Structure 1
Amino acid sequence: MSQEPGNKGPLGVAMIGYAFMGKAHSNAWRNVASYFDVPAFEQKILVGRDAAAVSEAAAKYGWNETATDWRSVLGRDDIHIVDICAPGWMHAEIAIAALEAGKHVLLEKPLANTLAEAEAITAAGQAARTRGVQSMVGFNYRRVPALGLAKELIAEGRLGTVRQVRAAYLQDWLADESAPMTWRLTKDTAGSGALGDIASHAIDQVLFLLDDQVTEVSGRLQTFVRRRPGAQGLEDVTVDDAAWATLTLASGVVASVEASRVATGRKNSLQLEVYGDKGAIMFDLENLNELRFLDATAPAREQGFRRILVSEPEHPYLDAWWPQGHIIGWEHTFTHEVRDFLLAIDGGTEPSPSFEDGLEVQRILNAVEESAAAKSSTIQLTPAARPAATTTEGA
């Protein structure tokens, strides 16, 4: 059964998956209690299909036990939280089963590979919430302190009326045509390519920063390298290498979104630019401790983007870390994510981003695919009802 809100006994955590995201999440679980006041928990069990590999990972990452069948974990009374870091094609089955078993669920983004799966996961999350079981989707960039500050500045009206947003997430790990096939390049396992993998982050940031919803979508997808070396020789790539979208929001803001895994020279660059009639902000993940802010209400002779080093105790999350000026890294976003999830469970509040938020991103991704398939068609979206939620972000 799940941990009841207010119960101070240790929460047992099981994590499913131990590769890239499993390593990042493990680092967060291992360190969060050293820096934040969170309810007691235990890294109980790490789950993976390869018994030898998962045992090696568990020893490195601080997990007490291992298992090769995730189903066996869901029946254990000493497991209260299930952290799902498995590939997207496994999300729906595992998340729904975990929620039905009464486990709180932290699920890596995107919510699922298909809109139908995302809807099913969200419905399961809503049903579980009525029983006090919480769920959250892992858009970790909401926990970058500089982006938390950007959201505060926008909400305070420092940019005035926002008119347009530019969001681009650019990587180059597939720029080389000889880069090998992986599960991320096959639609059956990945769902989509750059679109679901990294454009989902950019789209979520647009929604997060502006607290708005998308009403119209037009998009284009491109696969530049259609065959790559794999176990069977040259194999077909069945997902996109790059994606482009234009989003119209309910407020009238227009956002351009670009994502690429073949942008030579860009290693992991999430760029966000927000332009209002009184100011603007710029951010690049490759300089994640910095936010650029322009105050357009200042005299023209004084205007210009200024650099804010986001490392002060007054900035989101940073009072737990180092003296001002001592920067933090990418891995800290997951620590902040786990901190917020634990506090929400302990307080009986709904964590953010919710599965409903993840579903909204999935609806937009689906509309981009539909628009791309129709070649320049605009897809109309009806904003979904947005339930009120109490969050614990950035305190």
Structure 2
Amino acid sequence: MIPSTTPPPKLLGVAMIGYAFMGKAHSNAWRNVASFFDVPAFEQKVLVGRDAGAVAEAAAKYGWAESGTDWRTVVTRDDIDIVDICAPGWMHAQIAIAALEAGKHVLVEKPLANTLVEAELMTAAAAKARAKGVQSMIGFNYRRVPALALAKELIAEGRLGTIRHVRAAYLQDWLADAQAPMTWRLRKETAGSGALGDIASHAIDQIQYLTGQTVLETSGALKTFVSQRPGQNSLENVTVDDAAWATFWLTGDVGASVEASRVATGQKNCLQIEIYGTNGSLSFNLENLNELQFLDATLPVREQGFRRILVNEPEHPYLDAWWPQGHIIGWEHTFTHQIRDFLTAINSGKAPSPSFEEGLQVQRILSAVEESANNKSTVTTVNLGAFATEGA
């Protein structure tokens, strides 16, 4: 047999910036995605962080070939093709723009940036890079929950009829204790906002993603319940919100509400979504991640009622790659699905979703909620600007 002269396909080199909470979740996905999905070949090249010793330890633990402390050098390396940004929000814009200008595909955690100006600059850089075949995506990982992906399919198929309104609440309690220590997430200059950008952004993205409609107007309120928290040497001022509330009006004559809190005692990571249409309703709770509640209002009234769909069948989104039916998956799998979709998009040359444009749209909504809260205005019109939601 004559040996093949065809060179093996080039391995995509991946660099990740940030190694804490999201860095750990993304690393787990990079390490496992090729074991379950057919994706382009890649290498976990380098993990970057500010603490040389800590990032080296994390790199060894999470399967990265090397570690570094200078992201500027890493994003311009010839052996790096993909940059995954898991750093705090205040670093997103500078890293993403530099990576895109260097011709690297970019995945960045939500929210897109800390400010609307930064988000607009990132989106412009992404559009320019896309014209050269460079892909970019924002990490709203809950789009990759199979139950929510199924909800999207059912709505698109018309099973709920005309959508009338949506209720979403994202509740956590990790700041319920007034003695919980100060962190970067509680400073506006590093986090941008509190519960609003951290978790309400997920709920807002889901409302637009599931309904296929775009927010036009909002009325919002923000509240900081604990104004000071223990720092290293003294009490420090909290400069972001502990909780956020907003009502929305969307295209398609859809009304929606969002509540987000990091001081909801007893709630650990509870994202609840309810969608009500003329022909049916859907209900989801992230703490029961494998389940979707569906009511078919086209049935006779005597047969109606919410029924539980255990989203574990091979026919359900993503699940043909995992375990036999009935064997549940977890929160960490959403990141594996996210990496799978991003790699597939890079391989096909088709722009992935959610795009930076979609992230910018969410950023504009967050800004409008904050404006409404600060001005105590009844309604703030969301500025769609030059970009509309894509791939909803």
TM-score, structure 1 normalization: 0.96
Give a deviation string over 1:13-64, Cα, whole Å, max 9, x none. 0000000000000000000000000000000000001000001000110000
Listed as ranges, the matches of 1:227-238 within 5 Å are 227-238=228-239
**Unaligned stretches of 5+ residues in structure 1:** 1-6
2:379 is matched with which residue? 378
Indicate the larger mover: 183-192 or 381-390.
Answer: 381-390
Kept after mapping to 2: 8 A contact 1:349/1:390: no
Kept after mapping to 1: 8 A contact 2:18/2:86: yes
Matched pairs, number: 385
Deviation, 1:75, is 2.1
Distance in 1, matches of 2:320 and 2:288, equals: 20
1:263 is matched with which residue? 264
**Unaligned stretches of 5+ residues in structure 2:** 1-7
Distance in 2, matches of 1:75 and 1:251, equals: 44
Give a deviation string over 1:265-321, Cα, whole Å, max 9, x none. 100000000001110000000000000000011111111100000000000000000
Distance in 1, matches of 2:192 and 2:247, equals: 21
The CA RMSD measured in Å over matched residues stands at: 1.3
Kept after mapping to 2: 8 A contact 1:35/1:321: yes
User: Secondary structure of the residue that 2:87 maps to in structure 1?
Assistant: coil
2:112 is matched with which residue? 111
Kept after mapping to 2: 8 A contact 1:220/1:376: no
Give a deviation string over 1:324-345, Cα, whole Å, max 9, x none. 0000000000000000000000
Give a deviation string over 1:326-365, Cα, whole Å, max 9, x none. 0000000000000000000011110100000000000000
Distance in 2, matches of 1:177 and 1:36, equals: 44
* Letter in structure 2 aligned against 1:362: Q
Distance in 2, matches of 1:376 and 1:277, equals: 31
User: Secondary structure of the residue that 2:253 maps to in structure 1?
Assistant: coil
Distance in 2, matches of 1:226 and 1:37, equals: 49
Kept after mapping to 2: 8 A contact 1:243/1:258: yes
2:336 is matched with which residue? 335
Give a deviation string over 1:73-125, Cα, whole Å, max 9, x none. 12211100000000000000000000000000000000000000000000000
2:246 is matched with which residue? 245
TM-score, structure 2 normalization: 0.96
Give a deviation string over 1:170-190, Cα, whole Å, max 9, x none. 000000001000000000000
Listed as ranges, the matches of 1:112-191 within 5 Å are 112-191=113-192
Kept after mapping to 1: 8 A contact 2:51/2:69: yes
Provide the identity percentage: 75
Distance in 2, matches of 1:324 and 1:150, equals: 19
Deviation, 1:386, is 5.9
Kept after mapping to 1: 8 A contact 2:364/2:383: no
Listed as ranges, the matches of 1:1-395 within 5 Å are 8-383=9-384
* Letter in structure 2 aligned against 1:144: V
Kept after mapping to 2: 8 A contact 1:214/1:383: no
Distance in 2, matches of 1:73 and 1:149, equals: 38
Kept after mapping to 2: 8 A contact 1:350/1:389: no
Distance in 1, matches of 2:36 and 2:386, equals: 36
Distance in 2, matches of 1:362 and 1:387, equals: 12
Distance in 2, matches of 1:259 and 1:390, equals: 25
User: Secondary structure of the residue that 1:251 maps to in structure 2?
Assistant: helix
User: Secondary structure of the residue that 1:128 maps to in structure 2?
Assistant: helix
Deviation, 1:231, is 1.1
Change (3 A) 1:68 1:129: same
Change (3 A) 1:386 1:116: closer
Kept after mapping to 2: 8 A contact 1:221/1:244: yes
* Letter in structure 2 aligned against 1:154: I
Deviation, 1:165, is 0.1
